[in-house]
Amino acid sequence: MTDGGATLTAAEAAFLVAAADTIIPADELSPSGSQCGVVDFIDRELAGPYGQGVRLYRDGPIVKGKKEHGYQLGLAPRDFFRIGIEAADDWTRATYQKNFAELDEAGRQAALTAMETGKAAFENFNAREFFEALIAIVMEGFFADPIHGGNRDGAGWKMVGYPGLPADYRATIEPNRGKRLDIVPRGIADRR
């Protein structure tokens, strides 16, 4: 993390760096997730209104909903990730005798696969639900506007050929539809 941290503990940040770098490893297309600021993005999001669950209905009764119903827990997202990371580390210590962040790449991939498939048995917490939320927030951090702390230098946008603020490129996009558009992406902070 480069921000100094807004809400994440050192253990949570270490978990998220390892997870982000396993989900988005550095390659010829982009730097790793943590190098792109994904953990800074997550830290900021969890420290703010989203993390506090300001716009979520969290009063009871809370019943297990269908996937299409969206988030159905009484926990604010900050608490959800705190408990999920702790449960993931407890499970990896029981399974691999190490915290998730201490595992090698193959171990992290195996652990994430076990969470994704529901084979990881977290105590009193749903591993698959945690994995889905983790993937979602890592992807948000990789592709969000850089003003929010992630997608440093527009790396995610460059990887997919997204130019940034679409309204700023209207005249350029239409004649180039279907072609790769090689221009430097511009975010909110780059507006004139």
Burial label for 136, CB within 10 Å (0-12, 13-18, 19+), is: exposed
Are 101 and 18 in contact, with CB atoms under 8 Å apart? yes
Q: 144-168 pLDDT, tens per residue? A: 999 999 999 999 998 888 888 766 6
DSSP 8-class letter at 70: -
Q: Is 111 helix (H, G, I), strand (E, B) or coil?
A: helix
pLDDT tier for residue 175 given thresholds of 50, 70 and 90: confident
Mean pLDDT across the chain, nearest whole number? Answer: 88
Q: How far apart are the first and last CA of the chain?
A: 29
Burial label for 124, CB within 10 Å (0-12, 13-18, 19+), is: exposed
Q: 81-91 pLDDT, tens per residue? A: 999 999 999 99
Q: 100-122 pLDDT, tens per residue? A: 999 999 999 999 999 999 999 99
CA-wise closest residue to 85 among 8, 172, 180 = 8
Query: Cα 123 to chain center, whole Å?
Result: 23
Tokens of 139: 């992807």
What pLDDT shows up at residue 164?
A: 82
What pLDDT shows up at residue 168?
A: 67
Are 15 and 99 in contact, with CB atoms under 8 Å apart? yes
Instruction: Enter the pTM of the model.
Output: 0.87
Please tell me the distance from the alpha carbon of residue 85 to that of residue 115, in angstroms, as a whole number.
12
